[in-house]
Amino acid sequence: MLFDLEGVDYARAGTPVLRDFSAGLREGATCVAGPSGSGKSTLLRLLNRLADPAAGRVLYRGEDVRERDPLELRREVCLVPQLPALLEGTVADNLRFAAGLGDGEADVGRCLELAGLDESFADRDARRLSVGEQQRAMLARALAVEPRVLLLDEPTSALDAVARDAIEATLTDLRRRLGISLVLVTHDIEQARRLADWVVRVEEGRAVAAGAVGEHLGA
């Protein structure tokens, strides 16, 4: 199992977000699906220790994430947030910054290509890109860290259908070419069906179902 969550509780400002949450997320592509406000985004943040649960455990490949150095864990299990949040500077600056966190050097061209952007984006001002381009730049920046797992929070929620289809094709291609695992949060069941092998359904802070996409969502 890629991740195991065992009896996880998490509250925000006193309001419970996850309650006795238990589920397994498999290698490959797992989709965490459920309605808005059900705790899906919070769940992702627990997986790479952007937050710690008040109770319960989060295991990554069988090891409690609290036993891991949080910085190393985040470079291995990299989260791409729902809304673009790039740093000031060019796209290449952002990629070099990310690669430098692990003392590496960014292969800017390759990361851009993997994220579906051509090399001309390297010198573009990151904050002047369209939302769809910023989403791709965020993806490219995460790839510069060379993660083993990508956590993607509603990666297409702000995009139109054309841009959404392009990002989905990029994610499918990434899995095939790099062999990295994806954990994808979405409220779009169709997207879960298109991208994932395994699905965990979340409602009101609890995992209510888990299984193969074909069994739970139909073909």
Partner 1 sequence: MTSSIDVSLGEVAASLVLVALGVGLSFWRRADLERDIGIAVVRSIVQLTAIGYVIQAIFDEDSLALVFALIAVMVVFGAIQARQRARKVPGAFVPLLISLAVAGAATLGLVVALGIFEPEPRFLVPVGGMVVGNAMTAAAVALNRLGDEMHDRAREIEATLALGATATQAAAPSLRRSLRSGTIALVDSTKTTGLIFFPGTMVGMLIAGADPTDAVRLQLILLYSLLGSVSIAALLSTTLAYRNFFTPAQQLREPPEPGAGTAA
Q: Examine residue 200 and tell whether it contacts partner 1 (CB under 8 A).
A: no
Q: How distant, in Å, are the alpha carbons of 1, 33, 91, 126 from that of 201?
A: 17, 5, 35, 34
Q: Which of 92, 112, 138, 213 binds partner 1 (CB under 8 A)?
A: 138
Binding mask 51-90 for partner 1 (x = CB under 8 A): xx-----------------xxxxxx--xxxxxxxxxxx--
Count Cα neighbours of 8 within 13 Å in the Cβ-side half-sphere: 30
Element (H, E) at 108: helix 108-114
d(CA 192, CA 199): 7
Q: Examine residue 127 and tell whether it contacts partner 1 (CB under 8 A).
A: yes
Q: Examine residue 42 and tell whether it contacts partner 1 (CB under 8 A).
A: yes
Q: Examine residue 98 and tell whether it contacts partner 1 (CB under 8 A).
A: yes
Size of the site for partner 1 (CB under 8 A): 37
Residue number, 185 or 213, with CB nearest to partner 1: 185
Residue 154: left if φ>0, alpha if ψ -120 to 50, beta else—which one?
Answer: left
| Cβ pair 184, 32 in contact under 8 A | yes
Residue number, 19 or 197, with CB nearest to partner 1: 19
Which residues sit at the interface with partner 1, rule CB under 8 A? 41-42, 45, 48-52, 70-75, 78-88, 98, 101-102, 127, 131, 134, 138, 141-142, 145, 154, 158
